[in-house]
Amino acid sequence: MLKKLLRKQDGLALPIVIVLFTVIMVLSISALNMAINQSRMTTEYTASVDALHIAESGINEYMWYLNKADHENFEIGQDIEVVFADESVQDGMYRLEYVDGSVDDGYVRIRSTGYNTQKPDKLRTIEAVVSKKSFTEYVWLTNAEEQVWNVCIHTWNGPFHTNHTINISGQPKFYGPVTYSNSINTSNWYAPADPQYFDGDPRKVESIDFPDTNSELISRAKINGHYYDGMTAIFLNGDTYDVKTYNRTEGKWYFNGQEYHGNEKPTDIPSLPLPDNGVIYVDGSGTTKWHRNTGDLFISGEIDGQLTVAGANNIYITGYDPTDWREPNYTGDNPEYVPQGEVTGGISYARGIDDETSLFGLIAENNIEIINRRWPRVTGSAANNRWGNIGDIAPNNINLHGAYMALRGTIKYDQIGKQKGDASLFGSMIQDTRGAFASGNYGYGRDFYYDPRLLYQIPPYFLEPVDAGWELNEWREVGTHVPPPAE
């Protein structure tokens, strides 16, 4: 019986062996496929990472050429080989294309596509903005803060820098990066020092050196710009402007290019278009205020376009049309005197601060001041071209849209008088020595906000720091690849 049972199981071993062999084969093949897929995934991942590094190399190489001032010899749109010293990164190729901006604009938006030569179908693309180091990267920049203190009433809505010492007493608020080139000085003079830094601790950095003069803009104004030589007033009117100016060479007053010696603003002389290259320069000699040869500039209005206005002496921002020189009316209120021209409220972007196209710059060799006393007029003498005994003419609130630079002076409220509302900056303020907008309860409060466009866009031919180089300001990966070069 037992022998019969054993004989019946003689053939059972073979199917079991076949089943076991099949299972082992399936598991082996699965393991092999997993290994192959893992290897393929690793290769794909490595190629993708390499492609990103190669694309970054394209951006870095382009910046190197920019800093050599040799960008015109850089090949755009061609495949350029990259060989890495680090053998863990595969060599590859990149190609670039311009998106917008230019060297003359002070920024370039560029796209770089990279790929590993062993996996040319694995593309990664970076879009970057490179810009030249500029003064306008800050809402507030000074060569020296002197003994002016940042206290509880001071709020800085943007990057802050001084080439010297930051003086702090109380609880000023800094909503952007804070840098300095000398030291931070704290005191309990106003209140216990407790500064609020919302974008990291302050950092000590190299100074941002000012040029000696703004005279380089004279040639810009004479070639494709507008140049004036003598006391000048400019009313910005969108994409045009009115100008009343004294020509020192001819000894004559002009309004919009036509000879005119009156104080009332003409209505039959057309306005001038903004200059082709966006630069106006007001030249002159001496520093005596109200002298027709000095080259002082009075300016306000609304700008719709891109413009830089520079002056060889002081620049005065008004709250009313500065080309209407009729005698201001006495009100006894605040302001005490009101000029008869159009109310401007300072300098504003015509389409508001959300306008992405307009950029304005104002550069004084000496001071930029919100005017508070006197008003210009044509007189028979070279000096004292003003109305006498005119008191407070500053508006209650004033706008300051754009980038403002007092190269060898300060930006301030001229002869602080009555209590005012706010001086509202949307842009950047750069000055040699920090100026005052208020004293005690008198003058203007500061409502200062940074225009983030100024991080990589600047007004036409705005002055640059000494030895300014190009740097990376924005970086992001995009899905739009640079097309291959044409065959």
| The pLDDT of residue 230 | 96
Confidence of residue 428 (pLDDT cuts 50, 70, 90): very high
Residues near 152 by beta carbon (within 8 Å), at least 6 away in sequence = 170, 171, 172, 190, 191
- Count the Cβ atoms, other than its own, within 10 Å of residue 182: 14
Structure tokens at 445: 């409060």
Tell me which of 447 and 119 has the higher pLDDT. 447
Locate the domains of the chain by residue range: 13-133+472-478, 209-468
Give the rounded percent of residues in the chain with a pLDDT score beyond 90.
Answer: 54
Strands 196-197 and 232-238, sheet pairing? unpaired
For 392, the 3-state DSSP assignment is coil
The Cα–Cα gap between 99 and 102 comes to: 9
Burial of 452 (0-12, 13-18, 19+ CB in 10 A): exposed
Structure tokens at 357: 């196209």
Residues 88-116 as b/e (b if ≥16 CB within 10 A, e otherwise) read ebbebbbbbbeeebeeebbbbbbbbbbbb
Confidence of residue 31 (pLDDT cuts 50, 70, 90): low
Q: Reply yes or no: is the peptide bond before residue 335 cis, omega within 30 of 0.
A: yes
The pTM of the full predicted model, rounded to 2 decimals, is 0.82
| The pLDDT of residue 2 | 46
| Mean pLDDT computed over every residue of the chain | 87
pLDDT in tens, 63-108: 888 887 666 666 666 677 766 555 555 678 888 888 888 877 778 8
| The pLDDT of residue 33 | 60
**Closest of 120, 119, 101, 103 to residue 111, by C-alpha:** 101
* Distances, alpha carbon 235 to alpha carbons 197, 338, 366, 413, 442, in Å: 39, 17, 21, 20, 28
